Structure 1
């Protein structure tokens, strides 16, 4: 009995009567105690649990969009390079990207830093290139696009389209001369195929012409949407030979007489990429600058096949960046007293985004495996380009949706991904053209004409 009295006295001493008084002003303590007294043991335990956790900070899982752990397939060295590129993009690019995107400019000061990464022409053998797998090259493209699709596109034009044309279609002398400085970014390259009136019909409808004369090859015509064109040192130009009507390739130095570039302005996507309208008026190109192994559009297509796979990886990176930014936002943005990530409809959007992203990742992973095994076909690359760019469109749209009005502000990044996804959807072959490539493969009928 004495022990109970002592415990009761200690309990009374511990009571904060001021706090009770304030609580009594908000609720009827008598009725509250009566209600609590009527609860069973399980109900009381539930209330105690809620009270104990009321002031605990909710721990949010780390954001990792590689849901199926594809990165685990990389060797330790390759994984280290992936993380090195990720660190570079987050440290050097992320803080400046919105400003450059807004002002339609390219951060040329990053070019020497990109060179230090040693990732241009990553899958090529020799000429200063690392000789790595196509899988790693794709993952690197994804890492670049995860922060900014424009930088990924610049990289793709330099190391893929330009270097790839010379590596695949050039002579050994041309490779020795041009690939090392391009790989080190001491020279900047571009790729001129698309024209003002010719995009999807490039296979048989190029209006830019080349004609062999006693003074060399004479090039006339225009090229449009040429990335890097405004500050490139060389451009690989594809032209139709007036003699045999076949497509041929040339390494054109931008200092060539008759060669001029006009910057394309007022773009709504990939604004950091410096696209140009190239005009060539009687440009004389010597035989030594003609790509000897580029004698028809089939040779051009060999280059596009590999780079189209890279575009699929860029689409994955763009989608991943949008998803990760949106997920982080939903865990911090509070409405109705809690983070919006706690609501069912928001979680449904996030899961839809992750589902599409994971499907894309597994598709391009297998695509790169086929490429490394020498089994990649046009239809493989085209299917990945179609699917991944379509799903990216959906992901960036949902990312903007879960962010509400803030989703259209540059400072939250998703608006940039939303806009850039439109360019990725169209370049290196539209959905329709790539669908027809796949359709021809599975039916045996060509529906192009």
Structure 2
């Protein structure tokens, strides 16, 4: 019998990465192995996790807002950030979501669109995990169509008063600050962003329970009832939907890598299992149908990695376009969930237990498939780029 290779080795992925990128990936992988993996099954089963403690540990690791410059952020390459997301999601999508929302949504919004005072007040603490952020865009009736948002911000003297509801907000119930998007009563109803400390009177964030996916993640509703904010709470540089959409593009980039982490973990667990599982007198790995499934899954994982690294290089060069992020998000999440489901078939009944990660990953990927843009939205984004015609309406 010849020696076995990993899918990554088969594609020669390591040769495409810099020494710094490999070092970051290995650091995050060790953290996941030592700190996260022993608890993932119980966190998932309980539907809860120690988010505040983990945020501080992740801040100490340097992964919160790691791709941003200054204000205590590490300033790494986009590709290094993507590889960190891959390792975090190889542990659990909920952990990658915590980091993505913190760094690519809440922190990026303040870093890109905020005032110097807002940056100085929040970003250093958020980079250390001492303050947790959330991002309030999605509403109960407006997910893929944020232009229809009903949350309103009206002038009252020098202040703004916010009213509305946001839904499916990661980190909401444990957040210290929320970046909330609302339609203003002036400027022809322009969408503006607001930095909202969560201890502001009228703000509440009830936790969403009874989830079957992303259980090792805090998901909340945001309720704003006459939340009064000073004029300085507005993000001064963000005007219109380009503000929140730019943040979503940052988060989607992390998912391009992250989803592959879940797929890789499923495939790693399955390769180990079929090598040890004897059936009809020989290992399950020795059967043709098993090897056909493993070959097909490894091929899709490897192609997804090549795409992710290519998009990372484009982003590092400042050349990445939103429709190219849609290519990565659509392909890699779609293939990751297919890999997770196929792996489950090779594990048989063992695949439905928390002893193995595959169905946990598959369930999580059901959420990843639809958040930060559904597959249909990304198909239409790609279609618009190919034809020049928008088919969203």
Structure 2, unaligned runs of 5 or more: none
Please give the secondary structure, in 1, of the residue aligned with 2:24: helix
Aligned to 1:246: 190
The answer to whether the 8 Å contact 1:122/1:130 transfers is: yes
Aligned to 1:421: 365
> How far apart, CA to CA, are the structure 2 residues paired with 1:66 and 1:139?
16
Question: Of the two structures, which has the highest relative contact order with CA contacts closer than 8 Å and spacing of 6 or more?
Answer: 2
Aligned to 1:72: 15
Residues 118-133 of structure 1: pairs in structure 2 closer than 5 A = 118-133=62-77
The answer to whether the 8 Å contact 2:7/2:302 transfers is: no
The answer to whether the 8 Å contact 1:66/1:358 transfers is: no
> How far apart, CA to CA, are the structure 2 residues paired with 1:312 and 1:73?
17
Residues 25-174 of structure 1: pairs in structure 2 closer than 5 A = 61=4, 63=6, 65-108=8-51, 109-174=53-118
Quick one: which of 214, 233, 244 aligns to 2:157? 214
TM-score normalised according to structure 1 size? 0.85
Quick one: which of 212, 233, 245 aligns to 1:301? 245
The answer to whether the 8 Å contact 2:340/2:358 transfers is: yes
> How far apart, CA to CA, are the structure 1 residues paired with 2:54 and 2:68?
23
Deviation of the 1:63 alpha carbon: 4.0
Aligned to 1:369: 313
The answer to whether the 8 Å contact 1:222/1:277 transfers is: yes
> How far apart, CA to CA, are the structure 1 residues paired with 2:229 and 2:10?
51
Aligned to 2:282: 338
Please give the secondary structure, in 2, of the residue aligned with 1:91: helix
> How far apart, CA to CA, are the structure 2 residues paired with 1:299 and 1:66?
40
Query: How many pairs were matched up?
Result: 391
Please give the secondary structure, in 2, of the residue aligned with 1:262: coil
Cα 1:66–1:104 change in 2 (3 A) is farther
The answer to whether the 8 Å contact 2:57/2:129 transfers is: no
Aligned to 1:55: none
Deviation of the 1:215 alpha carbon: 4.4
1:14-70 deviations in whole A, cap 9, x for unaligned?
A: xxxxxxxxxxxxxxxxxxxxxxxxxxxxxxxxxxxxxxxxxxxx7863645353232
Please give the secondary structure, in 2, of the residue aligned with 1:219: strand
> How far apart, CA to CA, are the structure 2 residues paired with 1:312 and 1:263?
27
> How far apart, CA to CA, are the structure 2 residues paired with 1:372 and 1:342?
42
Please give the secondary structure, in 2, of the residue aligned with 1:426: coil
> How far apart, CA to CA, are the structure 1 residues paired with 2:74 and 2:220?
30
Quick one: which of 310, 314, 324 aligns to 2:254? 310
Quick one: which of 361, 378, 382 aligns to 2:326? 382
The answer to whether the 8 Å contact 1:63/1:328 transfers is: no
> How far apart, CA to CA, are the structure 2 residues paired with 1:390 and 1:148?
17
The answer to whether the 8 Å contact 1:60/1:331 transfers is: no
| Structure 2 residue 353 is the aligned partner of structure 1 residue 409 | yes
The answer to whether the 8 Å contact 2:158/2:231 transfers is: no
> How far apart, CA to CA, are the structure 2 residues paired with 1:241 and 1:355?
49
1:160-214 deviations in whole A, cap 9, x for unaligned?
A: 1111111111112211211110000000011111011110010x20111111221
- Asked which structure has the greater CA Rg, the reply is 1
> How far apart, CA to CA, are the structure 2 residues paired with 1:287 and 1:183?
25
Deviation of the 1:390 alpha carbon: 0.9
